[in-house]
Amino acid sequence: MKNIFTIAALLILTLSTSAFGKLYKWVDENGKVHYSDKMPPDQIKHEHQELNKNGVVKETVKRALTDEERKIKAQELQKLRELEEQKRLEAERRERERNTILKSYSNAGQILHLKNERISALNRNIEMAEDNLVIQNRNLDDMLKRAADKERSGEVVSDVFLEQIEVIRTQIENQKIFIQEKTTEIRATEEKYDYEYKRYLEYTENESDEAADIDP
């Protein structure tokens, strides 16, 4: 009997909707289903549906979000915007990198040639520094021996002589630092040219693929 009344009420509302144009359906806090041609203001926050004259759902409006849900939603949107911005910046960076690499080298072999040249020059610098280091260590040993001989013979080692010893020690330390720096530069040079070589092949391959797509 209750179902008959519900169907009858829906039928009446449907018929009236043909005149007023809209019919809404929603469920209140108690789980009761309502049909009406107007949404009560205090019920708009609930999920509701707009039905056509045949009782078919035209549109569903989701329930209003709670403050906590809106906060979480805003955080998710912010993360999404940040991710999109990161992707955009990365795309711009890669495009700048692509233009720079393709303008800097005429072919992949040129990159390897420049890499070998630069590393060879750095190795020569290291070899020269190591040769100087051997000489400076020999001079330091000689001066220390002379200073020790003077002290054993009762002579006073002059301040000038001691200063010369410190100068040589400083030069030795500087040579060691120089060798370390050039060794580090070799690794950086290898990484730089290896990276550019890899990217050059990637970018030229992409250009070949694009040309093949255009070529009829």
Residue 135 pLDDT = 96
Q: What separation in angstroms does the CA of 178 have from each of 18, 130, 137, 166? A: 91, 10, 15, 18
10-residue mean pLDDT profile of the chain (216 residues): values are: 47 47 72 75 69 70 72 89 96 95 95 97 97 96 94 92 95 96 97 96 74 41
Residue 206 pLDDT = 66
Strand partners, 57: 51
Q: Are 122 and 185 in contact (CB under 8 A)?
A: yes
The span from the first CA to the last CA of the chain, in angstroms, equals 74
Residue 27 pLDDT = 75
Q: By C-alpha distance, which of 93, 99, 89, 92 is closest to 207?
A: 99
